[in-house]
Homo-oligomer: A and B are copies of this chain.
Amino acid sequence: MRVKDERKIEVIYEATLHLIQEVGIAGITVAKIAKEAKLATGTVYIYFKNKEELINQLYLHLKKQTTENLFVGFDPAEPIKVCMKKLFVNALKNKMASFKEGVFMEQYYHSPYISQEAKQIGQTKMLPIIELMERGKQELLIKPIENEVLLGLMAGFVRQLAQAHIVQKFEMTSERIEHSFQVIWDAMKA
């Protein structure tokens, strides 16, 4: 694997994601990826040792990227509700913008490619959110229930909204985002 043309890696990632959204991990072949990326199959092997490596690199790449985006503009010093909204809106926008990536992540999780370690990771990025929730509970603003429940509520909601947006073309206006946050806040608030 060489590193000459960094853009090619990006092109390969993009092609892979696109294909996975369409036909799933089960449906991809290196030939298809190469074709989608307008490269020769052999070229893919210049940048990645093999298919497994490509998939795993892509996973790591996305993991890093999506985590960063979640906390854009987030300031833990602000009030709980403001923080929560920021996170919710960030999460939703990210999920919609990176739906392909989300599909890949979920497919990856139940695939022959994932390593046991990789299964463990992924929780860490949630820490700042957990802390926020704990604070909310102490301030008696958030229901005194398990973080798993609160987290599941939010993560699940975001996921489904994004899916509706992509699959059923459910337009995500700022008004709808407002309403959605209202709903989730009603659910969490003490």
A interface with B by C-beta (< 8 Å): 1, 20-27, 40, 42, 103, 106-107, 110-113, 143, 145-146, 148-153, 155-161, 163-164, 168, 170, 176, 179-180, 182-184, 186-189
Contact = CB atoms under 8 A, between A and B. Distances in A.
A25 B108 CA distance: 10
Contacts of A153: 156-157, 160, 183-184, 187
A106 B149 CA distance: 22
Interface secondary structure of A, over-half rule: helix
A151 B143 CA distance: 22
Contacts of A163: 152
Contact of A179 (B149, B157, B189): B149
Contacts of A155: 156, 160
A168 B148 contact: yes
Interface centre among A27, A103, A151, A153 (most CB of B within 10 A): A153
B143 A183 contact: yes
Contacts of A148: 161, 164, 168, 170
Interface centre among A112, A156, A179, A189 (most CB of B within 10 A): A156
15 contacts: A21-B110, A26-B26, A26-B112, A26-B113, A148-B161, A148-B170, A149-B176, A152-B161, A152-B163, A153-B160, A156-B160, A183-B188, A184-B187, A186-B187, A187-B187
Nearest to A112: B27
B151 A107 contact: no
B24 A112 contact: yes
B107 A103 contact: no
Closest 8 CB pairs of A and B: A156-B156, A152-B160, A187-B187, A27-B112, A156-B160, A24-B111, A26-B26, A25-B26
Contacts of A176: 146, 149
